């Protein structure tokens, strides 16, 4: 039995992926005409939850009720027909078609065998007008901004008579001014009795539109309650409130040396809006500098630019006090900067080639004798690296594609370690790697720091950031929000900065 | 996970990728010896080598481009253009420089034109990020038009006798000069691919361009260099071709790009890029050469031969895809 006053209700929902309980007993009660916000860190399970609701995934345990009736296995199409629509983070409109055609795509009004265009445009215009969306039904989708696409998507959901609309971080892709348009629409939908399930990390948004809040953490339901019961501090505490055990200990006795690298006012301006602005920091020998922030805060983009993969519009980089110009990755490599990319398969390895070719790739000049490659010395160095990093592999001639994630990551490390690296940038170095290999990589990081290497680590796992970093830089929406020393760093402080909440003194 | 190919379990896909082409060569060779009268004999076998020399040199060049995942479909027109230029330079300079000097000059000019065409291909493809197929499709027409303009559509003749040396000559009356040229090109290309930094970078860019870029490799430069090598090989092939014919034929070279690409693919080079060997390509060219020669000896209609040629490349690509899938499944 369930309470019919909720339009959507979930009880004890569990979703298991191989090796991980992505959702572990989630409860949710969504009321008509309310904005219900789902809060949680990166990887807390928000998106999985939405996908269970919209039918992409099937829950392994638990019950789900829609308008008082239990619903079980169903497809995404079934779910839409029932009245639950989802607006994805990344929309896929047909840009060359009109607004009306997009709204009624696949369910155009027909007159015999032909599409009834007159009715199509009349219906669409009526719909837009009723929602006070200021577009003409005959406008092409391509004329609209991203926020416009979202509004059309909302109109589409309404036209399907949705009573629950799920919005997955709708504000992440649109500019501030457009967010107002979106919010106006959300308030109008509430008036109509539509329930909105809204995922976001942004504190200011949460407290402007939320009626109810549900917090999940590590796949577990933490609590739900009316929005007025929360403030940013409390919300963050609940989002991150796990016990910190020192799973990732940096050896704190490692001496911190001179400044190795200094960034000064790094800014990227692009036609689609740059991804970071005015970033300045100093990095010391033996130091691990953590970069924390939400996914999309611009951390990876910043590091890619420092390494020469993307352009920097203004600002300076100094290495050992000397200004360096990095126009291409080859400049960075020559200067002694190494980067381990978050996308290991995309940017780290040539999967179809063997280990020794991968390891020698970035430092091939070291192995050239009289203009020719000295394969014997490559084999020797490969063997040394396999031993030192404990890479589990039958031999140097094994293709990189056949290794496990942890071992692949070690090959990427080896690629840089055979050269002289002053600054090592690690972007999510342990993502998708099993616990054992994870701790090995952390130990290696300490070892490198002890040898005097300066390390930058981006991580979206707060325990990893807190455990490994000497200092933590927090970024939000392309800007530096603060630098916190190891002793003062807490999950709450970092999350508050990362969500734009600001530290209360 | 340890590589399973060392576990001793037999996997046809992997076996084929390693030894398939060679095995195929042996089978086809034996079959031709047994069933085709006049196939086995020094004269005919030397003849096959001479016939394939042009294709092999072209294939070695385009191999570099294919390893990058690019392609060059203009090779046929390129050899016509460069070959005819070599003839015209020869005719134009032999009076003043003498036959020997003119030959040297004509070779140098041809190589420079080859470098120029290759550099242009590579530059346009990397600068504007357009598919190599489209670029070289355009060049196919441009180069053919250019050679017809230069020659007025008429064969170039009147070269001194020594012009035929490269394509028709023999050393010690046994070894064709064209085969020697082929071997030299092979050795140079083999060192470039397997022993030089450029080769490593080439395979890396072809296998994963992003990872290569993130390892500090200037990927665009690698692409440009590969097309220049391709252009040089086209120039050598062009001279060999016209020298064998004895005249500069502006309409020559049709379907040669096709033969060269077939040799690479039959030899196990993947059109997706990232893998391929020169030895494989050589074997591929020999296989195609034997099949063509056998058909000639058997008196098979030329139109049928064309059909067979088309089928060979299709079958080779299908085998490549299927064996790769089988090899991937075993992992």
Question: If DSSP codes are grouped into helix, strand and coil, which group holds residue A194?
Answer: coil
Give the pLDDT confidence score for residue A176 in this predicted structure. Answer: 66
Q: Chain B partners of A334 at a C-beta cutoff of 8 Å?
A: 216
Please answer yes or no on whether A361 and B200 come within 8 Å at the CB atom.
yes
Per-residue pLDDT tens digits of chain B, which is 331 residues long: 333 444 445 666 666 666 778 888 999 999 999 999 989 988 899 889 988 999 999 999 999 999 999 999 999 999 999 999 999 999 999 999 999 999 999 999 999 999 999 999 999 999 999 999 999 999 999 999 999 999 999 999 999 988 898 888 888 888 899 999 999 999 999 999 999 999 999 999 999 999 999 999 999 999 999 999 999 999 999 999 999 999 999 999 998 999 999 999 999 898 888 889 999 999 999 999 999 999 999 999 989 988 998 998 888 888 878 877 766 665 4
Q: Chain A: give the shortest CA distance to residue B18, in Å.
A: 14
Give the pLDDT confidence score for residue B78 in this predicted structure. Answer: 96
The answer to whether the complex's ipTM is over 0.85 is no
Q: Once rounded to an integer, what is the mean pLDDT over residues A131-145?
A: 86
Question: Which pLDDT tens digit goes with each residue over A428-438?
Answer: 888 777 767 78
The closest alpha carbon to B284, from B20, B46, B15, belongs to B20
**CA gap A331, A326 in Å, rounded:** 5
Show the tokens assigned to B12. 């046809």
Q: Does A404 lie at the interface with B, CB-CB under 8 angstroms?
A: yes
Q: Once rounded to an integer, what is the mean pLDDT over residues A447-472?
A: 91
Which of A352, A404, A405 is the best mutation test for B, with the most CBs of B within 10 A?
Answer: A352
Question: If DSSP codes are grouped into helix, strand and coil, which group holds residue A168?
Answer: strand
Cβ atoms B265, B23 nearer than 8 A: no
Tell me the domains of chain B and their CATH numbers: 43-317 (1.10.3470)
pLDDT exceeds cutoff 60 at A324: yes
Give the pLDDT confidence score for residue B4 in this predicted structure. Answer: 40
Q: How confident is the model at residue A178 (pLDDT cuts 50, 70, 90)?
A: confident
DSSP classification of residue A227: G
**CA gap A99, A119 in Å, rounded:** 14
pLDDT exceeds cutoff 70 at A275: yes
**Of the ranges A5-9, A180-184, A211-215, B12-16, the best mean pLDDT one:** A211-215
Residue of chain A whose Cα is closest to the Cα of B327? A402
By CB neighbour count within 10 A (0-12 exposed, 13-18 middle, 19+ buried), where does A96 fall? exposed
Q: Does B16 lie at the interface with A, CB-CB under 8 angstroms?
A: no
Q: Chain B partners of A347 at a C-beta cutoff of 8 Å?
A: 210-211, 213-214
Q: Chain A: give the shortest CA distance to residue B4, in Å.
A: 8
By CB neighbour count within 10 A (0-12 exposed, 13-18 middle, 19+ buried), where does A260 fall? buried
Q: Does B272 lie at the interface with A, CB-CB under 8 angstroms?
A: no
Residue of chain B whose Cα is closest to the Cα of A364? B197
Q: Chain A: give the shortest CA distance to residue B173, in Å.
A: 36
Selected residue with higher pLDDT from A468 and A1: A468
The closest alpha carbon to A119, from A100, A94, A144, belongs to A100
Residues paired with B265 in a beta bridge: none
Other C-beta atoms closer than 10 Å to the C-beta of A136 total: 13
Q: Chain A partners of B275 at a C-beta cutoff of 8 Å?
A: 352
Tell me the domains of chain A and their CATH numbers: 6-240 (3.40.50.300), 259-498 (3.40.50.300)
Q: Does B129 lie at the interface with A, CB-CB under 8 angstroms?
A: no
Question: What is the overall mean pLDDT for chain A?
Answer: 87
Give the pLDDT confidence score for residue B5 in this predicted structure. Answer: 41
Start-to-end Cα distance in chain B: 10
Percent residues over pLDDT 90 in chain A: 39
Q: Which helix (H) or strand (E) holds A196?
A: strand A195-199
Give the pLDDT confidence score for residue B12 in this predicted structure. Answer: 65
Q: Chain B partners of A407 at a C-beta cutoff of 8 Å?
A: 1
Give the full edge-to-edge strand order of the sheet including A6-17: A69-70, A61-66, A6-17, A20-31, A220-226, A212-217, A35-39, A195-199, A164-168, A84-87
Question: Which pLDDT tens digit goes with each residue over A350-405?
Answer: 998 999 999 999 988 889 888 899 999 999 999 999 998 888 888 888 888 888 88
Rg (CA), chain B: 20
Question: Which pLDDT tens digit goes with each residue over A47-64?
Answer: 889 889 988 888 899 999
Q: Chain A: give the shortest CA distance to residue B27, in Å.
A: 29
Q: Does B2 lie at the interface with A, CB-CB under 8 angstroms?
A: yes
Nearest to A347 among B191, B210, B218 (CB): B210
**Sequence-ordered alpha helix ranges (H) in A210-367:** 232-240, 299-306, 329-335, 355-360
Show the tokens assigned to B217. 């490799």
Cβ atoms B241, B84 nearer than 8 A: no
Start-to-end Cα distance in chain A: 48
């Amino acid at each position: 039995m369930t309470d019919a006053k909720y339009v959507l209700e979930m009880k004890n929902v569990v979703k298991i992926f191989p090796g991980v309980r992505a959702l572990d007993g989630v409860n949710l009660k969504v009321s008509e005409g309310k904005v219900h916000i789902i809060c949680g860190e990166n990887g807390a399970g928000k998106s999985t939850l939405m996908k269970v609701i919209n039918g992409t995934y099937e829950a392994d345990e638990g019950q789900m009720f829609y308008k008082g009736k239990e619903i079980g296995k169903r497809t995404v199409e079934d779910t839409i027909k029932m009245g639950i629509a989802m607006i994805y983070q990344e929309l896929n409109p047909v840009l060359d078609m009109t607004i009306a055609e997009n709204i009624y795509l696949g369910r155009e009004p027909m007159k015999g065998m032909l599409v009834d265009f007159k009715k199509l445009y009349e219906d669409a215009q009526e719909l837009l007008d009723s929602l006070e969306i200021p577009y003409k039904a005959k406008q092409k989708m391509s004329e609209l901004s991203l926020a416009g696409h979202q509004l059309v998507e909302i109109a589409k959901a309404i036209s399907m008579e949705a009573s629950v609309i799920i919005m997955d971080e709708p504000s992440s892709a649109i500019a501030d001014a457009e967010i107002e348009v979106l919010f106006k629409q959300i308030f109008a939908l509430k008036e109509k009795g539509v329930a909105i399930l809204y995922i976001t990390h942004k504190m200011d948004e949460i407290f402007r539109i939320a009626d109810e809040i549900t917090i999940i953490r590590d796949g577990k339901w933490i609590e739900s309650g009316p929005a007025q019961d929360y403030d940013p501090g409390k919300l963050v505490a609940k989002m991150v409130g796990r016990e910190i055990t020192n799973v990732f200990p940096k050896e704190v006795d490692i001496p911190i040396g001179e400044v190795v690298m200094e960034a000064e006012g790094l800014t990227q301006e692009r036609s689609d809006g740059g991804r970071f602005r005015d970033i300045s920091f100093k990095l010391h020998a033996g130091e691990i500098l953590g970069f924390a922030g939400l996914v999309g805060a611009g951390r990876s983009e910043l590091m890619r630019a420092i390494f020469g993969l993307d352009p920097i519009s203004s600002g300076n980089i100094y290495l050992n006090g000397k200004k360096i110009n990095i126009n291409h990755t080859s400049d960075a490599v020559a200067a002694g900067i190494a980067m381990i990319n978050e996308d290991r398969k995309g940017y780290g390895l040539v999967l179809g080639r063997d280990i020794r070719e991968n390891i020698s790739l970035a430092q091939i000049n070291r192995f050239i004798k009289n203009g020719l490659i000295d394969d014997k010395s490559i084999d020797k160095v490969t063997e040394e690296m396999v031993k030192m990093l404990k890479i589990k592999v039958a031999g140097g001639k094994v293709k990189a594609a056949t290794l496990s994630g942890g071992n692949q990551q070690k090959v990427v490390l080896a690629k840089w370690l055979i050269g002289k690296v002053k600054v090592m940038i690690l972007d999510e170095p342990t993502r998708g790697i099993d616990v054992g290999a994870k701790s090995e990589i952390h130990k290696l990081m300490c070892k490198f720091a002890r040898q005097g290497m300066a390390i930058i680590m981006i991580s979206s796992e707060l325990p990893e950031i807190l455990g490994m970093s000497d200092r933590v830089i927090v970024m939000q929406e392309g800007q530096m929000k603060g630098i916190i020393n190891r002793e003062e760093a807490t999950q709450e402080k970092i999350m508050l900065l990362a969500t734009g909440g600001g530290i209360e003194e | 996970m340890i590589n399973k190919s060392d576990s001793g379990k037999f996997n046809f896909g992997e076996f084929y990728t390693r030894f398939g082409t060679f095995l195929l060569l042996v089978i086809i060779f034996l079959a031709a010896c047994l069933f085709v009268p006049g196939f086995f004999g020094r004269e005919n076998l030397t003849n096959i080598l001479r016939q394939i020399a042009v294709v092999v040199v072209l294939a070695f060049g385009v191999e570099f481009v294919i390893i990058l995942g690019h392609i060059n479909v203009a090779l046929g027109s390129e050899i016509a253009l460069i070959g005819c230029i070599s003839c015209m330079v020869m005719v134009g300079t032999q009076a003043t420089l003498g036959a020997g000097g003119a030959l040297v000059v004509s070779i140098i000019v041809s190589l420079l034109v080859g470098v120029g065409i290759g550099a242009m291909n590579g530059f346009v493809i990397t600068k504007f990020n357009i598919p190599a197929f489209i670029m070289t499709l355009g060049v196919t027409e441009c180069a053919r038009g250019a050679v017809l303009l230069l020659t007025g559509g008429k064969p170039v003749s009147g070269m001194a006798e020594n012009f035929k040396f490269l394509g028709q000559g023999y050393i010690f009356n046994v070894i064709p000069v064209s085969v020697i040229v082929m071997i030299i090109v092979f050795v140079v290309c083999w060192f470039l691919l397997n022993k030089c930094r450029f080769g490593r970078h080439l395979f890396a860019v072809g296998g994963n361009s992003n990872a290569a870029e993130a390892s500090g490799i200037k990927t665009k430069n690698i692409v440009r260099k590969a097309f220049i090598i391709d252009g040089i090989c086209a120039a050598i092939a062009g001279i060999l071709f016209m020298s064998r014919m004895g005249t500069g034929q502006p309409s020559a070279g049709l379907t040669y790009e096709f033969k060269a690409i077939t040799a690479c693919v039959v030899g196990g080079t993947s059109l997706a890029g990232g893998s391929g060997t020169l030895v494989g390509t050589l074997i591929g060219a020999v296989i195609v050469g034997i099949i063509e020669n056998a058909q000639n000896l058997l008196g098979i209609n030329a139109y049928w031969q064309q059909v067979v040629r088309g089928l060979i490349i299709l079958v080779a690509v299908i085998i490549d895809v299927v064996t790769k899938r089988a090899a991937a499944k075993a992992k």
